[in-house]
Amino acid sequence: MNAVDLSGRIAVVTGGAQGIGLAVARRLLSSGAGVAIWDVDQAAMAKAAELASLGRVEAILCDQSQIEAVDRAATETERTLGPVDLLVNNAGIAGPAATVVDYDPAAWRQIVDIDLNGVFYCCKRLVPGMIARNYGRIVNISSVAGKEGNPNAAAYSAAKAGVLALTKSLGKELAGHDIAVNALTPSPARTRILEQLTEAQVAYMLGKVPRGRFVEVEEAAAMIVFMLSDENSFTTGATFDLSGGRTTY
């Protein structure tokens, strides 16, 4: 494992109690950063607290679809760990499988509220501090669905496409500061989000990956931690692909 020095940095990882987020939190702690895990799953949060043996970590309940909850989590993070330098917007849900014609509007709103609006709320709350200190690294987890659009998953695809556009806009807005804002588009990993999908959806997505396998959460964490490092000092507003060859742009 390549060593990345993040000593003294404070990071927020949303959806950090499981899957890719948990792998990122573990890698951040091993790199010397203090980490605040924001999640809504209390049981998973209890397990994530075991990471305390690796470094300074706080587990904070946060429903990022509510801007007030984001503000409370940020205030608690700043109180216990300090000003936030690094933000990984990882939390998200897939939602039900249905065609656009049959899609439940309530489900559509829930997916957009969590997967897109939540990213906006987190950035809106934490970016001003980064501007004041003229330093920050933000990684927004999108999906190959945001590039290509998956059938029977229009809400998820649209929200993740919105994350890419938000990343581009914010990256340009902050380009005059030492703040890098980039997105990651992974293909499916073996995480709990797959439980929200039908077997047909999972087979469809996996069948389009030339590597012929799921991405490992540790592979995602390795790329994300580089994106959060001082070495990622020039690229901003960009999309880092982690699709196993599915998308080459």
**Which letter, b or e, does each residue of 158-182 get, where b requires 16 or more Cβ atoms within 10 Å of its Cβ?**
bbbbbbbebbbebbeebeebebbbb
156 is catalytic: yes
List the catalytic residue out of 103, 121, 156, 249: 156
In 3D space, the residue among 124, 231, 137 whose CA is nearest the CA of residue 177 turns out to be 137
The dihedral sign for the CA sequence 31, 33, 36, 42 = positive
Reading the block at residue 62, the tokens are 């946060």
CA–CA separation, 235 vs 104, rounded Å?
A: 38
Question: Cα(70)–Cα(239) distance, rounded to whole angstroms?
Answer: 25
Backbone phi, then psi, for 137, in 5-degree steps? -135, 130
Tokens of 183: 């997105």
C-beta of residue 38 within 8 angstroms of C-beta of residue 21: no
CA dihedral (235, 240, 245, 246) positive or negative: negative
Contacts of 195 (CB under 8 A, 6+ apart): none
Catalytic residues: 156
